Amino acid sequence: MNAWEVNFDGLPGLTHHYAGLSFGNEASTRNQFQVSNPQRAAKQGLLKMKALADAGFKQGIIPPQARPNVSVLRQLGFDGSDEQVVAKVAAQAPQLLSAASSASSMWVANAATVAPSADTLDGRVHLTVANLNNKFHRATEAPTTEALLRAIFPDESRFAVHRALPQVAMFGDEGAANHNRLGGDYGQPGLQLFVYGRDERQETQPQRYPARQTLAASEAVARLNQVNPSQLLFARQNPAVIDQGVFHNDVIAVSNRQVLFCHQQAFVNQPALMTELARRIPGFMPIEVPTARVTVADAVATYLFNSQLLSTPDGSMLLVLPAECETNPRVWRYLNELLERDNPINELKVFDLRESMANGGGPACLRLRVVLTDAEYRAVNPSVLMNDTLFATLNDWVDRYYRDRLTQSDLADPQLLREGREALDRLTQILQLGSVYDFQH
């Protein structure tokens, strides 16, 4: 079956700011209380989407969530009108207002785990929403993520959207950021490699930072997504790299078709894993970057592996990288040698995504990959697919509603709440999504 990889990018929201909410994500901690520029964040995201759409890749968009999240603040005991809720939390617990205002839903690699129809027992595309249980500000994303995915993939005869796993640590699930699909053409059955950081039943844990994804969660997602059991493999991320800031597997590995581009220290028992992958994937091509060339610290600082590895029509591959890779001489030298070597990667494309990067989100974090057949692609809500008109409309929309400067104290401004709702109401019309936000009900 002919199929495509369609990338759906999350759009940074109007309250994008640096709150230091993600312990274990070193960029988040380091940049706490820096001044953000939500308008620039959104435009950087839109430019990546447009450039890839112009280069012939299929590209969609996933809108931001409504923030501050007033309903979660009510759940925590703040009451009154919506404006009063915001005023009270700002005065009594500004860190909670910050968490309830996070624009973290932009990192849609954590929105869900996707199984293409070629891999599933019922022949539908399955998407299981991630519970993001490890961080409060992210765990609140799940219900709206589910509503958005249902609005984007409405045809239940082709798409199955599953709600998030139970919200407990045992089932901590971070979505596609800990999931790789390897194989041949996109439309052929692939091998789904689920990567977990923690298995509550055994094994040592990272010492310093939390492991967000559990094996029990990965197993449940594979069941929900009806992945053919013969196409499944579970592997453990190296706890030592989690302790160095690799909070998701997509900070240390990226795959496309037969290629797995990863650091030498990415996985536990890595040589055995590579042997197993070589046995199960025809033409498997690992590209393992040795520590002697690029350290884990360099990988975390530059997000070398948080790149998008995209197939071009001639069968070669393109690596989409954040600008931080270009300014690190070791990483940049390695990448340029990679182009010369015998492998499918023959082009690098660099994007300025600094607003997102400063919170620990690179090119791969910003996109959710959904492999779709022609018929499935035609069943996607067409209004979310990127083209010249949508790009122009969204740029105007960003200019109209987004601020170019935001700090923690600005979150208390009741006008920010009103601006956000007006903007998202308009956005759901542009993208023809119907009523997906709480405030619209």
Ligand X SMILES: NCCC[C@H](NC(=O)CCC(=O)O)C(=O)O
Positions in the binding site for ligand X (CB under 6 A): 18-22, 25, 28, 102, 104, 107, 109-110, 138, 177, 247-248, 359-361, 365
Three-state SS for 334? helix
Whether 248 sits among the annotated catalytic residues: the reply is: yes
- The response to whether 137 counts as a known ligand-binding position is yes
In whole angstroms, the minimum distance from the beta carbon of 25 to ligand X comes to 4
Sign of CA dihedral 381, 39, 138, 365: positive
Q: How far apart are CA 372 and CA 379, in angstroms?
A: 10
In sign, the C-alpha dihedral spanning 331, 233, 161, 67 is negative
Annotated catalytic residue, options 174, 324, 355, 376: 174
Query: Any catalytic annotation for residue 326?
Result: no
Residue 71 marked ligand-binding: no
- Name beta bridge partners: 267: 237
Determine if residue 28 is labeled as part of a ligand binding site.
yes
Q: Determine which one of 126, 324, 355, 365 is catalytic.
A: 365
Residue 262, Ramachandran bin (φ over 0: left; ψ between -120 and 50: alpha; else beta): beta
80 in a known ligand binding site: no
Catalytic residue among 17, 248, 263, 376: 248
Q: Among candidates 306, 19, 215, 45, which has minimal Cα distance to 136?
A: 19
Name which of 102 and 373 has its Cβ closer to ligand X: 102
Work out the number of other CB atoms within 10 angstroms of the CB of residue 341. 8
Closest to ligand X by CB, 21 vs 127, is 21
What one-character DSSP code corresponds to residue 81? S
Task: Give the helix, strand, coil percentages of the chain, each rounded to 5.
Answer: 40, 20, 40
CB of 407 to ligand X, least distance (A): 12
Q: Is 110 annotated as a binding residue?
A: yes
H-type helices in 158-306, by residue range?
A: 215-224, 239-242, 270-280, 296-302
Minimum gap (Å) between residue 18 Cβ and ligand X: 5
Please name the helix (run of DSSP H) or strand (run of DSSP E) that holds residue 331, with its range, or none: helix 329-340
CA distances from 251 to 52, 157, 183, 266 (A): 21, 34, 21, 9
Q: How far is the CB of 42 from ligand X (least distance, A)?
A: 16
Nearer to ligand X, 178 or 256 (CB): 178
Q: From the CB of 131, what's the least distance to ligand X, in Å?
A: 13
Q: 118 or 165: whose CB is closer to ligand X?
A: 165
Query: Any known ligand binding at 27?
Result: yes
Residue whose CB is less far from ligand X, 175 or 286: 175
Q: Is 25 annotated as a binding residue?
A: yes
Examine the residue annotation and report whether 441 is marked as an active-site residue of this protein: no
Give binding residues as ranges: 19-28, 110, 137-138, 212, 250, 359
Give binding residues for substrate as ranges: 19-28, 110, 137-138, 212, 250, 359
Give the active site residues: 174, 248, 365
